[in-house]
Structure 1
Amino acid sequence: MAKIVMKFGSNLLVKGGQIDKTYIITIASLANDLLNAGHEVAIVTSGAAAAGRVLIPNLESVKDIVSKQALCAVGQPKLMEIYQVAFSFYNRTVGQILVTRDDFTNRQRFLNLRNTLIGLEKVGVIPIVNENDTVSVDEIKLGDNDTLSAMFSVCWNADYLFLMTSVDGVIGSDGRVLDEYHIGSKEPVLANLEKTSHGTGGIATKINAAKIAAESGVESYIINGRRLECVKEVLAGKRCGTHFSVSGKRRLTKKESWVKYISKPKGTVYINDGAFKALIERKSLLPVGITDIEGEFSKGDVVLIMYNSKVIGKGITNYGSEELRQIKGKKSSEISEEIYTYDEAIHADNIILEISEVN
């Protein structure tokens, strides 16, 4: 049986300026069928601001961040109430999960979130996930729930991610829906579709989210949210919407995916020619290959790896920035015992390269 994440945006959830309760009942019906079939289900939802505008109509046209946070603070409980009522028709219980970028980028909080989800699984509660817009500012804001759904899918170890949209999938320049979007091959030319008035993303954010999830081992689809039966069709092995496939390269482990797509680098290490050659041969980064350090970070933090003025990857460092400044450019035999802990500054298993960016 599969773990399924379904993401619904405001373009589907909002009708006539308010939350479409009938549509959410349809979502609950689909989720109930999936659960009865033995699957696990999580829902990533938008709509808090729309729910808030109904309760505080005088803020409807206000766009400053403080007013938006106020709308979400009022609207989020209302949105959850609508979901709970809809799922109660099927004797199901939902649980609210509100997250910010820090809940994913901080490795410990990431693991804590995963443990919370394990707890909800054990008691049969369906996670309803949204960004915590009431406290989100630019530094910790995810910005769109498409990206959130991809990060959540990685965290939850999902098997499927369904990104719902208002069309039948990713539409090519010829006006036809792509059955398959091959990641790693030449990018297809797409139709120019604008984002909706209610949503914060568009087809571009959905494609990026689907790529993150697909490269991380999650079967990812962009489908028409008005044809929810498409989810069952996909699970039955039929074609529906646009499927994202990884061409010509292995899928990332969950840890690698976290390093590449989710982590927030705390600093930068600059490397020399010898280190670059070692990295492309899948070897570890040694202190002797480091030429400079930028930023302040601790052991276990993620750092950017820079070569010839270009970022070539990320890695989890074995040393803090202060220690690396003392041992950079040195061989193991030249490092004092007080500092020396590991042979590697960054172990090969903790490095994700993006060599395609290097000429």
Structure 2
Amino acid sequence: MAGARRSWAAGRARSSLPARAPPVDTQKSSWKRSGRIFDVLICDRPRSTIKNLKSPIPLMSTQIRKDVLGKARSVVIKVGSQLMTSISTGGSDLDIDYLRDMARQIVELRARRVQVTLVSSGAIAAGCAEMGLERRPRDVADQQAVAAVGQRRLMTHLHDAFAPHGLKVAQLLLTRGDFDDRDRFLNIRNCVGHLHRRDCLPVINENDTVAVEELRFGDNDLLAALTCNALRADALVLLTVVDGLLDDQGNTVDPVEDIGSVLGMARAQVSTLGTGGMITKLEAARLVTEAGEIAVVADGRVPDVLARLFAAEPLGTIFVPARRKLDSRSRWIGLTKRAAGTVTVDAGAAAALSRRGKSLLASGITGTTGQFERGEVVLIRDDAGREIARGLTNYNADELRLIMGKRSNQFQKVLHRPAYDEVVHRDNLVVVSR
């Protein structure tokens, strides 16, 4: 333990941050991930931990922060609308001082050779200021028009904030459909990669002007998570106006491994100014951690929050990554493309998929809902309604209703054409990890 304390102190010294006393009353456990063993410090401090974790010993975030977040080389940072807007204007204009300070922090993080992709909010607030509106319009068409005006104003202020540091900013406006389409999904990654190589900062926002649904994404939380998975970034940082997930006593819950166990806490934390809340942040964290990367929710008003997070300071809530890393295609199938329908399977098929890595056969299917075509993603549930996997179907909904419960040697007789043995081949299937 003395060695762990020395390592902790050395990390503090290297970070050039104010010294703090190391954690006290610590004991060691281990966290295994991808064949590696991380020493985990469990310490007595006023932060809640989730007791019903799948690990036999509750995980402490300090060592995970060091070994995962501290070593991240690429990160997606999402700045919430309540941070981007000024309290003095009632949230109807951008907070220029905050933008300048965030620009400084991002530049300093890049100086540590961390690739940063910024997901920003605030276009509608900026548009309200430009058009002399005192409050956010309620009509969707008005919101789209205001966002069209505000996006230009937002990018102008971001340009002005980063220009003194010699950093160019690039704008990408995306919709949900850009992630559903496989080619566009890959093009997002390619474009952002080239921007990084040309030493530009990619700034991503939803294209609020063309898609109604994007206005309800949840303050860009989902957009940030989808971007993180598309880029295969090492970490997602969601900056908001609270210190992470809070329990009913107002203490920060840290760390979280089983997101489902904390949904009740999140429902009590609803955003008053933005379109999101803690529920959308948990969903974003789930998408990223399922892919095998770490997610953090932290208070963006904390001085030098980015440097302190990446120096492993105990700020906010970290969400522990799954013990696997998904490749790009699996992220698209299992975590990005929206499911077009649902397939229900019996206990035998559920076990074959989740435990033995088998393909989905029609004989184990007991029901299906939705209208979907061949090649679309279907959500696979067990007979209790739990999601166990997602995959690309070889059959459309009408065909599947004809063959479900049957053996593959009966397919041709029923469909009157040559048929696949599998409904979803295991190469096109992603099992839920936890």
Equivalent residue, structure 1, for 2:241: 166
Equivalent residue, structure 1, for 2:19: none
Instruction: Give the number of aligned pairs.
Output: 353
Equivalent residue, structure 1, for 2:100: 25
Equivalent residue, structure 2, for 1:332: 408
State whether residues 216 and 257 of structure 1, in contact with CA within 8 Å, keep that contact through their aligned partners in structure 2: yes
State whether residues 292 and 324 of structure 2, in contact with CA within 8 Å, keep that contact through their aligned partners in structure 1: yes
State whether residues 173 and 189 of structure 1, in contact with CA within 8 Å, keep that contact through their aligned partners in structure 2: no
Whether 1:10 and 2:84 are equivalent positions in the alignment is: no
State whether residues 100 and 141 of structure 1, in contact with CA within 8 Å, keep that contact through their aligned partners in structure 2: no
Whether 1:79 and 2:154 are equivalent positions in the alignment is: yes
**In structure 2, distance between residues paired with 1:184 and 1:251:** 17
Equivalent residue, structure 1, for 2:119: 44
The offset of 1:86, in angstroms, is 1.0
State whether residues 183 and 211 of structure 1, in contact with CA within 8 Å, keep that contact through their aligned partners in structure 2: no
The offset of 1:100, in angstroms, is 1.4
Whether 1:310 and 2:385 are equivalent positions in the alignment is: yes
**Greater shift in the superposed pair: 336-345 or 140-149:** 336-345
Equivalent residue, structure 1, for 2:422: 344
Superposed counterparts of 1:255-334, under 5 Å? 255-272=329-346, 274-281=348-355, 282-290=357-365, 294-308=369-383, 310=385, 312-313=387-388, 314-321=390-397, 323-324=399-400, 327-334=403-410
**In structure 2, distance between residues paired with 1:308 and 1:194:** 33
Equivalent residue, structure 2, for 1:195: 271
Say which SS state the counterpart of residue 310 (structure 1) adopts.
coil
Any idea what the Cα deviations from partners look like across 1:306-352, whole Å, max 9, x if unmatched?
55473644221133445545654443333449844543210234334
Any idea what the Cα deviations from partners look like across 1:6-54, whole Å, max 9, x if unmatched?
1111111111231111111111111111222211111111100011011
Whether 1:250 and 2:328 are equivalent positions in the alignment is: no
**Greater shift in the superposed pair: 336-345 or 47-56:** 336-345
Q: Counterpart amino acid of 1:122? A: R
Q: Counterpart amino acid of 2:326? A: T
The offset of 1:95, in angstroms, is 0.9
Q: Please, what TM-score do these two structures have when normalized by structure 1?
A: 0.86
Any idea what the Cα deviations from partners look like across 1:107-157, whole Å, max 9, x if unmatched?
332222222222222222211111111112138953431121111111111
Change (3 A) 1:222 1:308: closer
Q: Please, what TM-score do these two structures have when normalized by structure 2?
A: 0.73
State whether residues 94 and 122 of structure 2, in contact with CA within 8 Å, keep that contact through their aligned partners in structure 1: yes
**In structure 2, distance between residues paired with 1:196 and 1:273:** 43
**Aligned counterpart for 1:57 among listed residues 114, 125, 132:** 132
State whether residues 207 and 214 of structure 2, in contact with CA within 8 Å, keep that contact through their aligned partners in structure 1: no
Any idea what the Cα deviations from partners look like across 1:52-74, whole Å, max 9, x if unmatched?
01111247453100100010000
**In structure 2, distance between residues paired with 1:170 and 1:292:** 37
Any idea what the Cα deviations from partners look like across 1:269-288, whole Å, max 9, x if unmatched?
34456534433443211233
Equivalent residue, structure 2, for 1:70: 145
Change (3 A) 1:193 1:267: closer
Equivalent residue, structure 2, for 1:216: 291
**In structure 2, distance between residues paired with 1:279 and 1:4:** 32
**In structure 1, distance between residues paired with 2:135 and 2:332:** 37
Superposed counterparts of 1:168-183, under 5 Å? 168-183=243-258
Change (3 A) 1:326 1:3: same
State whether residues 159 and 169 of structure 2, in contact with CA within 8 Å, keep that contact through their aligned partners in structure 1: yes
Change (3 A) 1:119 1:340: farther
Superposed counterparts of 1:50-129, under 5 Å? 50-58=125-133, 60=135, 62-129=137-204
State whether residues 216 and 275 of structure 2, in contact with CA within 8 Å, keep that contact through their aligned partners in structure 1: no
